[in-house]
Amino acid sequence: MELRREQPEDWWEVEALYDLCFAPGREMLSSYRLREGVEPVPELCMVARDDLGVVGGAIRFWPVRVGPAPCLLLGPVAVHPTRQGEGLGAFLIQEGLQHAAALGWERVLLVGDAPYYSRFGFCKAEDVQMPLPTNPERVLSQALVPEAWDGVAGPVQPDT
């Protein structure tokens, strides 16, 4: 797999992958409300293509704020069903987090399953309120620098 920054011409293929991997109506999820009218962080949106040029996976990150603190919202991340079980999702997440830290981002937030994301350093986010009806148990955070979440609390808002 070749991992590269997502380009505008990748948009349709990446959206098709997200449609394939997630339930119909994915845009109705509360996390999508934080993305409306906001561009993702282009340096952190990546596409993995195989040697035939077929998209095998993709990841995006979006700028948000928790209270006044800047933060990244990870997601969506998806791997084509024919490529699942190869470690591609883990690779996308690890590379994305490393790039985010290198770019100076301090904290990351996502909505997901704690048993899966805990292996990447995510834990339940305390005192962070995602838009309803998000289950608070699924709101996870990670500090990319020590103590980055100390004192950070409040509602999650788009960072426009």
**Residue 49 buriedness (CB in 10 A; 0-12 / 13-18 / 19+):** middle
| Reduced 3-state DSSP string for 101-133 | HHCCCCEEEEECCHHHHHHHCCEECCCEECCCC
Total number of domains constituting the chain: 1
C-alpha to C-alpha distances, 54 to 19, 44, 68, 150, nearest whole angstrom:
16, 20, 40, 42
Percent composition of the chain: helix, strand, coil (DSSP 3-state, to 5): 30, 30, 35
pTM recorded for the entire structure: 0.93
**Whole-number pLDDT of residue 36:** 83
How many distinct helices (H) and strands (E) make up the chain?
4, 9
Q: Is the peptide bond before 76 cis (omega within 30 degrees of 0)?
A: yes
Comparing CA positions, the residue from 77, 71, 51, 81 lying closest to residue 125 is 71
**Whole-number pLDDT of residue 37:** 85
Which structural domain, as residue segments, surrounds residue 71?
2-158
**Whole-number pLDDT of residue 133:** 86
Phi, psi of 136 (to 5 degrees): -60, -25
pLDDT digits (tens, 9 = 90+) for 106-129: 999 999 999 999 999 999 999 999
3-state secondary structure of 64: strand
Q: Which residues of the chain have pLDDT under 50?
A: none
**Whole-number pLDDT of residue 147:** 96
The encoded tokens of residue 35 equal: 């993305």
Cα 88 from Cα 48, distance rounded (Å) = 8
User: For position 11, which CATH number holds?
Assistant: 3.40.630.30
**Whole-number pLDDT of residue 138:** 94
**Whole-number pLDDT of residue 7:** 96
